[in-house]
Every structure is written in C-alpha cells, then in structure tokens.
C-alpha cells in the first residue's frame, strides 16, 4: 500500500466536514503568521526604517564588513571539514559492518543535544588560558579563546553532526552494487570513489553542505561564549547583530539581520529543491531505505 | 545468513580502515575530548561547591523558568504543530507549498536574529505587543516572552515528526471506520489519534530538548532579570562572564545530564514508533 500514487480518487469516508477544514486551515495560518511570517516581514521593515541609504551604509560599515569576512572564513573552514567527516563516517557506517556501530551513531549526535552555551563553554574549559592545554598554547603565543580559532572550533563542534546525519541514510539508500561492480572491473579505490560514489550521492552531499553552512554562518550562542566580544575583531555576523542592538542602533542591527534572513530563506529554498533529488530514483530499492532517507 | 552474505560482499570494497580511522579520530578531537573536560572539571569541585551552584535560589528559579517555559512552548507546538501538519497533509489551500518550505525557518534563521525580531514585535510598542499591552499582557521582558521565543525555536520539530507519519497513514482504516458507522470525530479519536501518538511525543520531546538549551533567541526578549526572567543557559553565561567556571560547570553538568536522558528517551520513543508503523 505504501507505493500508492499521490493522486487518489476522492474518498468520502476520509473527508472532514467543510467547517472543520476551514477552521483548521485558519488556525494553522494564524499560528504561522504570528510566529513565522510577521517576524520575517518585521526584519526587513525594521532594517529599512531609516531609508535605503542608511541600510546600505550599515552593511558597508567597516565593522560590518569585518564581521561578514569572519563569518565567511569560519564557514569556509568548518563546512569542508565537517563534510569530509560526513563522507568518511557515512562510508564506514553504510558500507561495512563492525561492532559498536550503533554507539558510534549515538556519539555523532552528541553536539545536537548540547546547549550552544555549554558547547562554547567546553572550549573555554579546554583551551582558556587557565586550562593546562590553553596555558601551554598561550605560552607559545597562540590565543584560541577570545580569538578567531575559538570561534572556528566552536562552530565546528555545533555543526559536527549535520553533514554526517544527512549522508549516512543516503549512502545506505543508494546501495553498493555499482561500487562493487567498479572494483570487480578493476577500478582503484579512489577511482571508484570519485567516479561512482561521489556522483551517486552528489545531491545529498550538497544538501548536507547547505544545512551545515547555514548553521555555521548563523551560530550565535556557542561563538558568543568564546568570542569575548572584541569589536571589529572577533565578531561574526550574528554577534555583530547583538552588539549593534545593545548599542541601540536598531536599524543597523536589522540591516545586518536582513542579510542573515536572506541566507536563511535561500537555505530553505535550496533545501526544498534538493530534498527531491537526494536519492537517485531506483525502482528496485526497498521502501524502508527510502523512508529513512526522507 | 543475510548478515554473512553482506559481510562477504562488503569485503570487496576498499577504505574501511581509512574512513573509520578518520571518523574516530575526528570524533575524538572535535567532540569527545571537549565533552570529557566538563566532567573532569566537575571532579575537581567539592560537594559543597557543587551543591551551592546547582541548588542556589537563583539557580532553582532559573530551572523553574527554563523547564516551565520549555514545556509551555513544546505544548503549544504540539497542538498547533499538529494542526499545521494535518492541514499540510490532508487539505489543499493556496500558499501551501510556501508554508511547507517556511516551516523550517527556525532551523535556518540565526537565533540572534530571531531574538531581536521577536523582541521588536512583542515589545509594548511592537506590531503585536501594542495590541496585547492594553489588555495587560506583557510579553517582552516577562516570562511569557521566554515562552514565545521557545515556541518559535521548537516549531519545526512537531510538524516535521508528524507530517511523514500522517502521509504514510493508510486511509483505508478511516474508510472502514466510516463504513462501519463511526462519525468523523470517532474515527479521529479512535483510529487516527492512536497511530500518531508516538510521533507526537517524539516531536514534543525534541522541541522540549531544543528549548531547554536555547540561548540566542531568549537573551533579548527575556530582559535577563535574575530570579524572574533568567533561563539556565543565561545563568551559565553570566557565571562564565564573571569567571565563575566552577559554578558554570556544575550547572552545565546538570543540564547535560538532563539532555542525555531526554536523548535516550527520544531514541526509545522512535524505536517504539517505528515498530508500531511496521506492525
């Protein structure tokens, strides 16, 4: 029954009374308007409250540009590392059987269940100047906490599971027949990897990358703990928003916010289009695997 | 036998040692070592120190607000998230696909942006707050504001856990119930609702867990008054800012333990849920 086509004949026994239908749709729309649509509109309205000139001035401010640069740099380091990890983890987990696999899956999920503030705090405890390791690094002139490396580390931690979590079910759903064929026909390991594996999971890879990137650029709590709020130096965009807001520069705060909101909307649109392509259509695939990936 | 065949077949593929080795090394460096520091740090505390941090009146007030507002947010999301999921799966209406895309917004929007925006809207001169203020309802800088922010961050969880279950639900049972003379309400209560309960509980737990650790969206709307509108992550933050690492660690360990218990509970729920679907 799971394979039924989307379009089904009208089923009178399963239809709700029109009154109920209208009422539920109205409630849903009002709820979403209050919590999603009005906030999004408000970001742009507040950003433009002092005119378009002030809007662009706020974005072009040197401190804003420094924040944008640090945000891009952080994502440029954290995302490739975590996507590489995602590929390695999904290959090991989806293609091989080994003891402790379930435990490994649980451990990969840990950063999801740690509060952002606690995530940042872990790195302060580990690498702050008072900690043994942090003290050692400080003696050698390497500052991690209250500096860029701390921001990058905290971001890597909070975005750690994202790519792996998306890639594991996709890798499982794609199956290994084509890879085995490649190996049996004499392909080398890396040849198989770049010619068969990567093309098979490319949409899933992009999907994981998009999600990981959105979180890396938007993380606030964890980087807030490790940044130490040095203006123009260790601010990412979400941190800079806070500084402007606490300075009562509301229009500027919302102007920077509007860029982050556009990024969020672009992420959602990309997610929507990628979701349909993550698993290449294969009729012989068993349904469970498809469901896991969905 | 299937397992045996599987293992044998997998032997053809290369890269097991490399991929698993890299996975474990990276997991160790990025996650396990940092997580373990917090527990090592706890062992350096004495009992009185630990107890003073985790059971002070200010901390107790923060637990109460964090748990209360998180439960309130998760409950609101359970009710309205269910209605949203139901509308998206069962009805056709204009703008439906836009809404389906937008439901994930709280996942994608940076929490500081969400925080200042919700504060601007729900402040007493804001777009929505101005209509609530004359009624004596204060949202921003009050516990209600915390609940509003936590509702926002938890919104996608209930919708996204119920939606796929609802899509897979076989409508034949509903037809059978209708044919046998059940009213639509009876069908809903006796046929549809029981099938959705595991997913609803999972969604509730996910939204609750997310809300409990939330910092960014709450810090702006709450006003951060100790004993009144200070949530636990905020309390940890202020202890860190005062370099009271011992106190921050003690409270963090309590919260981590709660998170891991919830995570375990969610795993159990999901296993229950998939077993029910399979049956």
Task: Give the tens place of pLDDT for each residue, B89-114.
Answer: 999 999 999 999 999 999 999 999 99
* pLDDT band, residue A228 (cuts 50/70/90): confident
Q: What single-letter DSSP state applies at residue A186?
A: T
**What pLDDT is attached to residue B108?**
93
Per residue in A133-149, pLDDT tens? 888 888 888 888 888 99
Cβ contact, residue pair A183, B14, below 8 Å? yes
Cα distance between residue A148 and residue A143, in whole Å = 9
| H/E element, B152 | helix B143-168
Cα distance between residue B126 and residue B119, in whole Å = 8
Contacts of A92 in chain B (CB under 8 A): 16, 19-20, 23
Choose among B86, B108, B118: nearest Cβ to A39.
Answer: B118
Percentage of the residues of chain B whose pLDDT score is greater than 70: 95
pLDDT at A1 over 80: no
* pLDDT band, residue B278 (cuts 50/70/90): low
Residue matched to tokens 């007493």? B124
Token pair belonging to B242: 């005062």
**What pLDDT is attached to residue B215?**
95
Cα distance between residue B189 and residue A92, in whole Å = 44
What Cα–Cα distance (Å) separates residue A85 from each residue in A82, B30, B32, B261?
5, 11, 15, 27
A6 CA: distance to closest CA in chain B (Å) = 10
The mean per-residue pLDDT over the stretch B63-87 comes to 96
Token pair belonging to B39: 């527990």
Cβ contact, residue pair B233, A117, below 8 Å? yes
Handedness of CA B263, B267, B269, B273 (dihedral sign): positive
pLDDT at A278 over 70: yes
**What pLDDT is attached to residue B20?**
95
Burial of A139 (0-12, 13-18, 19+ CB in 10 A): exposed
**What pLDDT is attached to residue B43?**
87
Cα distance between residue A26 and residue B99, in whole Å = 13
Cα distance between residue B56 and residue B232, in whole Å = 12
The mean per-residue pLDDT over the stretch B183-203 comes to 89
Cβ contact, residue pair A220, B15, below 8 Å? no
Q: For the CA atoms of A249, A250, A251, A254, what is the dihedral angle to 10 degrees? A: 120
Q: Is B110 on the interface with A (CB under 8 A)?
A: yes
The mean per-residue pLDDT over the stretch B14-33 comes to 95
**What pLDDT is attached to residue A12?**
66
Q: For the CA atoms of B8, B14, B16, B17, what is the dihedral angle to 10 degrees? A: 130
**What pLDDT is attached to residue A280?**
54
Which of B195, B196, B209, B211 lies closest to B267, judged by CA?
B209
**What pLDDT is attached to residue A3?**
44
The mean per-residue pLDDT over the stretch A253-267 comes to 96
pLDDT at A13 over 90: no
Choose among A21, A221, A267: nearest Cβ to B216.
Answer: A221
- Best mutation target among A75, A119, A121 (most B Cβ atoms within 10 Å) is A121
Q: What single-letter DSSP state applies at residue B26?
A: H
Decide which of B177 and B251 is more confident: B251
Specify whether the CB–CB gap between B53 and A133 falls below 8 A.
no
Contacts of B18 in chain A (CB under 8 A): 88
The mean per-residue pLDDT over the stretch A108-127 comes to 92
- Return the ∠ at Cα B104 (arms to A17 and A265), rounded to 5°: 120
* pLDDT band, residue A17 (cuts 50/70/90): confident
ipTM of the complex: 0.89
Contacts of A99 in chain B (CB under 8 A): none
Q: What single-letter DSSP state applies at residue A99?
A: T
The mean per-residue pLDDT over the stretch B76-86 comes to 96
Q: Is B32 on the interface with A (CB under 8 A)?
A: yes
Exposure on the CB side of residue B248, measured as CA atoms within 13 A? 24
pLDDT at A289 over 50: no
Handedness of CA B191, B195, B197, B200 (dihedral sign): negative
* pLDDT band, residue A279 (cuts 50/70/90): low
Residues 6+ apart with CB under 8 A from B49: B246, B250
pLDDT at A283 over 60: no
Decide which of A244 and A234 is more confident: A244
When the pLDDT of each residue in chain B is averaged and rounded to a whole number, the result is 89
* pLDDT band, residue B2 (cuts 50/70/90): very low
**What pLDDT is attached to residue B107?**
92
Choose among A157, A176, A254: nearest Cβ to B31.
Answer: A157
B17 CA: distance to closest CA in chain A (Å) = 8
* pLDDT band, residue B277 (cuts 50/70/90): low
Most confident of A11-20, A69-78, B184-193, B267-276: A69-78
The chain B residue lying nearest A248, using CA atoms, is B116
Per residue in A109-118, pLDDT tens? 899 889 999 9
Cα distance between residue B82 and residue B86, in whole Å = 6
**What pLDDT is attached to residue A293?**
40
Compute the radius of gyration of chain A from its Cα atoms: 23
Per residue in B104-146, pLDDT tens? 999 999 999 999 999 999 999 999 999 998 998 999 999 999 9
The mean per-residue pLDDT over the stretch B37-59 comes to 90
Cα distance between residue A224 and residue B233, in whole Å = 12
For A121, phi then psi, to 5°, come to -60, -35
Specify whether the CB–CB gap between B100 and B93 falls below 8 A.
no
Q: Is B111 on the interface with A (CB under 8 A)?
A: yes
Choose among A96, A125, A242: nearest Cβ to B10.
Answer: A96
Which of B137, B157, B156, B152 lies closest to B220, judged by CA?
B152
Which of B97, B106, B85, B212 lies closest to B158, judged by CA?
B85
| H/E element, B4 | helix B2-10
Cβ contact, residue pair B109, A260, below 8 Å? yes
**What pLDDT is attached to residue A285?**
40
What Cα–Cα distance (Å) separates residue B122 from each residue in B105, B146, B244?
19, 11, 33
Which of B262, B205, B269, B270 lies closest to B74, judged by CA?
B205
Compute the radius of gyration of chain B from its Cα atoms: 23
**What pLDDT is attached to residue B12?**
84
**What pLDDT is attached to residue A145?**
85
pLDDT at A269 over 90: yes
**What pLDDT is attached to residue A286?**
43
Buried b (16+ CB within 10 A) or exposed e, B249-266: bbbbbbbbebbeebbeeb
Burial of A271 (0-12, 13-18, 19+ CB in 10 A): middle
Token pair belonging to B40: 């090592």
Percentage of the residues of chain B whose pLDDT score is greater than 90: 63
Contacts of A247 in chain B (CB under 8 A): none
Cβ contact, residue pair A14, B171, below 8 Å? yes
Specify whether the CB–CB gap between B273 and B198 falls below 8 A.
yes
The mean per-residue pLDDT over the stretch A99-109 comes to 91
Cβ contact, residue pair B214, A224, below 8 Å? no
Q: Is B167 on the interface with A (CB under 8 A)?
A: no
Cβ contact, residue pair A92, B19, below 8 Å? yes
Cα distance between residue A14 and residue A3, in whole Å = 19
Compute the count of residue pairs across chains A and B with CB atoms less than 8 Å apart: 285
Count CB atoms within 10 A of the CB of residue B226: 14
Cα distance between residue B279 and residue B262, in whole Å = 26
Residue matched to tokens 């590392």? A81
pLDDT at A161 over 60: yes
Alpha helices in chain A (DSSP H): 18-32, 38-47, 51-60, 62-95, 101-109, 116-127, 132-139, 148-174, 177-184, 189-192, 198-218, 221-227, 237-246, 250-275, 287-293
For A175, phi then psi, to 5°, come to 80, 165
Q: What single-letter DSSP state applies at residue A147?
A: S
**What pLDDT is attached to residue B33?**
94
pLDDT at A182 over 80: yes
């Amino acid at each position: 029954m799971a394979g039924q086509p989307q379009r089904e004949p009208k089923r009178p026994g399963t239809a709700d009374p029109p009154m109920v239908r209208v009422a539920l749709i109205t409630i849903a729309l009002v709820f979403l308007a209050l919590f999603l649509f009005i906030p999004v509109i408000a970001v742009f309205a507040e950003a433009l409250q002092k005119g378009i000139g002030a809007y662009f001035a706020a974005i072009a401010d040197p401190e804003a540009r420094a924040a944008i640069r640090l945000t891009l740099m952080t994502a440029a380091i954290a995302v490739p590392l975590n996507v590489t990890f995602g590929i390695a983890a999904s290959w090991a987990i989806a293609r091989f059987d080994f003891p402790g696999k379930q435990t490994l899956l649980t451990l990969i999920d840990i950063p999801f269940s740690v509060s952002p503030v606690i995530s940042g705090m872990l790195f302060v405890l580990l690498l702050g100047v008072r900690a043994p390791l942090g003290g050692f690094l400080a003696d050698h002139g390497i500052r991690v906490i209250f500096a860029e490396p701390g921001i990058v580390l905290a971001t890597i931690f909070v975005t750690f599971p994202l790519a792996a979590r998306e890639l594991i079910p996709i890798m499982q759903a794609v199956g290994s027949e084509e890879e085995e064929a490649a190996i049996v026909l004499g392909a080398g390991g890396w040849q198989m990897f770049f010619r068969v594996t990567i093309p098979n999971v490319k949409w899933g890879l992009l999907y994981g990358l998009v999600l990981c990137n959105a979180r890396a650029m938007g993380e606030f709590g964890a980087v807030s703990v490790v940044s130490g709020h040095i203006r123009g130096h260790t601010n990412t965009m979400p941190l800079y928003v806070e500084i402007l807001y606490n300075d009562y520069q509301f229009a500027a705060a919302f102007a920077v916010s509007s860029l982050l909101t556009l990024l969020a909307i672009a992420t959602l649109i990309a997610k929507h289009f990628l979701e349909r392509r993550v698993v290449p259509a294969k009729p012989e695939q068993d349904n469970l695997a498809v469901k896991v990936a969905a | 036998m299937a397992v045996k065949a599987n293992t044998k077949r997998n032997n053809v593929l290369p890269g097991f040692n490399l991929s698993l080795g890299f996975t474990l090394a990276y997991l160790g460096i990025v996650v396990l070592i940092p997580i373990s520091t917090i527990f090592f740090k706890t062992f350096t505390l004495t009992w009185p120190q630990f107890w003073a941090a985790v059971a002070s009146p200010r901390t107790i007030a923060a637990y109460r607000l964090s748990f209360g507002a998180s439960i309130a947010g998760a409950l609101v999301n359970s009710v309205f998230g269910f209605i949203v999921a139901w509308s998206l799966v069962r009805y056709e209406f204009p703008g439906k696909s836009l809404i389906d895309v937008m439901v994930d917004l709280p996942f994608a929007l940076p929490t500081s942006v969400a925080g200042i925006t919700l504060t601007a809207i729900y402040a007493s001169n804001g777009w929505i707050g101005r209509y609530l203020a004359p009624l004596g309802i204060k949202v921003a800088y009050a516990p209600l504001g915390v609940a509003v922010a936590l509702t926002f961050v938890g919104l996608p969880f209930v919708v996204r856990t119920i939606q796929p279950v609802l899509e897979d639900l076989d409508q034949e049972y509903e037809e059978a119930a209708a044919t046998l003379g059940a009213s639509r309400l009876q069908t809903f209560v006796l046929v549809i609702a029981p099938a959705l309960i595991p997913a609803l509980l999972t969604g509730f737990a996910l939204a609750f867990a997310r809300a409990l650790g939330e910092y960014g969206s709450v810090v702006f709307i709450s006003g951060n008054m100790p004993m009144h509108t200070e949530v636990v992550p905020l309390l940890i933050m202020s202890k860190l800012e005062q370099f009271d690492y011992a106190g921050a660690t003690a409270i963090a360990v309590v919260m981590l333990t709660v998170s891991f218990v919830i995570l375990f509970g969610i795993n159990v729920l999901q296993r229950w849920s998939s077993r029910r679907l399979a049956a």
